[in-house]
Amino acid sequence: MAFEKNKMPMFHKVSLIVFLIILAIFLSPFLYVEINKYIYEKRVTNYLINEKGYDKSELASVEGVFGFKAPQFYTTVIFENELSITYTYFSHDKVLQFDYEIIDDKHKDIKKEELQNYDLEGSIGYK
């Protein structure tokens, strides 16, 4: 009986399949979160560039975020002309600016009317 090259014993095949299934089960939540963060980030970026007329160079940071409260996914944006303000966008059905946060203590006294990127049309308007 000749031994065939590259023939894996049945035990090794089963072990490999079981390992891959377990690996897929453990990686699925991580992949789900990372893929959704990417999707939300791209959705908001496209909205800001294609619908709101921003240039990509005007966006200092666009980041998809996974949170533990509802909604689980949202996007934060920092604009180059307002590096001390973080804007929060929801993009589940359509893209809406939800909120803003002043992240620099030097600008704590800024009023909503003074914000350069506050979207009156696309804002949910809770503040």
Q: What is the DSSP letter of 50?
A: I
Q: How far apart are CA 100 and CA 27, in angstroms?
A: 33
Count CB atoms within 10 A of the CB of residue 82: 21
Question: At 42, is the pLDDT very low, low, confident or very high (cuts 50, 70, 90)?
Answer: very high
Residue 69 has pLDDT above 60, yes or no: yes
What local confidence, expressed as pLDDT, does residue 113 receive?
85
Residue 2 has pLDDT above 60, yes or no: no
Query: Which pair of tokens denotes residue 112?
Result: 């909503």
